[in-house]
Amino acid sequence: MSIPFYIRNSTFGLAVVAFSALGAATGHATEFKLGHVYEVSHPMHVAAVSAAEQFKACTQGRHTIAVYPTSQLGNENALNEQVRFGGVDIIFTGQIFASSAYKPLAIGAAPFIFKDRQQALRYRDSAVFKELWAGWNKATGQHILSAGYFGAFNVTSNTPVEKPADMRGMKIRVPDAPIWLAFPRAVGANPTPVALAEVYLALQQGVVTASANPLPITFAFKFYEVQKYVNPTAHLMEFVFWIVGDHVMSKLSAADKDCMQKAAGLYAERSTQLIAEQEDGLRAKMEADKLITFTKPDIAAFQATLAPAVEQLAKDLGASAELVARVKGI
């Protein structure tokens, strides 16, 4: 698998601030940059392209959105920084990465906080999730406009994982954000932060021997070529936000803000639909094509092992018992 050149230095964003802000301030036709880290075959990118087309039509060509996939504008940490400085106009980022600016936002990513996908999808549309968005918006001055369901995280590995003890000592890749460490540490694994764009090579070279990703990511990035097992733990549910920088939103007319919101809404619904469809169908396809072997983990054992870690995580996030109860009760 070839790995393209990626811009990793977040200071890149500072170099283009003046240009980006100038375009938004003029009121003339502007091309907004949307950056994300996913492959072009991934539902998040497919939905982004559809949303960009709708935005152009809605604004009658006054403004357009250029979509930059596969970390072309930086990894996820860099994108979060750049949107605040005006280096990127729109980003896709998960609740965990975004929570670096407002910790309670990540409570929906606590291991096993949801019983299943249906509950996670109810949370996506819930008032409590929107309240957390508002808290993040206030803390950052930027704008979460929507959230797409990203999927349930499973463990891929070179040895089968059926119980927590099977992960003891395992070198597992996690995204480069501290909150991701809770699950692997609770089961005795050795978590190693690796940016998504670099995971395939890290697995291929043995830098890590396992990874945690939703099934659509495992498929789109072809991790089945460098892993032997998918262990469907579904231990974490993630959502990916459509975030627009205030340097954009503050300059748009009311009509164009409405167009931006509609585009964000289309992205959220389309990506959620596609991810759910893939989760429902990919296992059968991957098994039929003999791409990888699926195991049957003891989910109850994982839940029991993780319970103390989840309680501590909620405290670390500043999530009150009331907030946790509201999320679990959806």
How far apart CA 219 and CA 176 sit, in angstroms, is: 21
- Whether residue 231 lies inside any domain: the answer is yes
pLDDT for position 262: 98
Give the confidence band of 8 by pLDDT, cuts at 50, 70, 90.
very low
Q: What percent of the chain has pLDDT over 90?
A: 89
pLDDT for position 170: 98
- Whether residue 93 lies inside any domain: the answer is yes
Give the confidence band of 109 by pLDDT, cuts at 50, 70, 90.
very high
How far apart CA 236 and CA 152 sit, in angstroms, is: 6
| Residue 20 structure tokens | 């980006």
More confident residue, 51 or 25: 51
More confident residue, 132 or 23: 132
Give the confidence band of 288 by pLDDT, cuts at 50, 70, 90.
very high
How far apart CA 309 and CA 311 sit, in angstroms, is: 5
- Whether residue 5 lies inside any domain: the answer is no
Lowest mean pLDDT among 5-14, 146-155, 161-170, 317-326: 5-14
Any idea what the Cα angle at residue 216 is, between residues 149 and 66, rounded to 5°?
A: 70
For range 255-278, the mean pLDDT: 98
pLDDT digits (tens, 9 = 90+) for 54-84: 999 999 999 999 999 999 999 999 999 999 9
For range 163-177, the mean pLDDT: 94
How far apart CA 199 and CA 183 sit, in angstroms, is: 18
pLDDT for position 27: 52
How far apart CA 290 and CA 111 sit, in angstroms, is: 29
**Which residue range forms the structural domain that includes residue 304?**
12-328
Give the confidence band of 22 by pLDDT, cuts at 50, 70, 90.
very low
Give the confidence band of 28 by pLDDT, cuts at 50, 70, 90.
low
For range 41-49, the mean pLDDT: 97
What single letter denotes the amino acid at residue 267? Y
- Whether residue 2 lies inside any domain: the answer is no
Give the confidence band of 91 by pLDDT, cuts at 50, 70, 90.
very high
pLDDT digits (tens, 9 = 90+) for 302-318: 999 999 999 999 999 99
- Whether residue 118 lies inside any domain: the answer is yes
pLDDT for position 175: 85
State yes or no: pLDDT of 272 exceeds 90: yes
Give the confidence band of 4 by pLDDT, cuts at 50, 70, 90.
very low
State yes or no: pLDDT of 233 exceeds 70: yes
Q: Identify how many contiguous H helices and E strands the chain contains and give both numbers.
A: 14, 9
Give the confidence band of 13 by pLDDT, cuts at 50, 70, 90.
very low
Please provide the DSSP assignment of 259-326 as one string.
Answer: HHHHHHHHHHHHHHHHHHHHHHHHHHHHHHTT--EE----HHHHHHHHHHHHHHHHHHTT--HHHHHH
| Residue 299 structure tokens | 């989910």
- Whether residue 27 lies inside any domain: the answer is yes
pLDDT for position 5: 31
| Residue 96 structure tokens | 């965990």
Average pLDDT taken over every residue of the chain: 92
- Whether residue 172 lies inside any domain: the answer is yes
Domain of 165, CATH number, reads 3.40.190.170
Which of the 8 DSSP states describes residue 161? -
What single letter denotes the amino acid at residue 128? V
- Whether residue 4 lies inside any domain: the answer is no
How far apart CA 220 and CA 42 sit, in angstroms, is: 6
For range 258-274, the mean pLDDT: 98
Please count the structural domains in the chain. 1
pLDDT for position 300: 97
The number of angstroms, rounded, from the C-alpha of 234 to the middle of its chain's C-alpha atoms is 15
For range 132-157, the mean pLDDT: 98
- Contact in structure between 279 and 286 (CB atoms under 8 Å): no
State yes or no: pLDDT of 178 exceeds 80: no
- Interaxial angle between packed helices 43-58 and 254-288, expressed in degrees from 0 to 180 and rounded to the nearest 10: 150
| Residue 174 structure tokens | 């996690």
pLDDT for position 21: 43
Which of the 8 DSSP states describes residue 158? S
Give the confidence band of 179 by pLDDT, cuts at 50, 70, 90.
confident
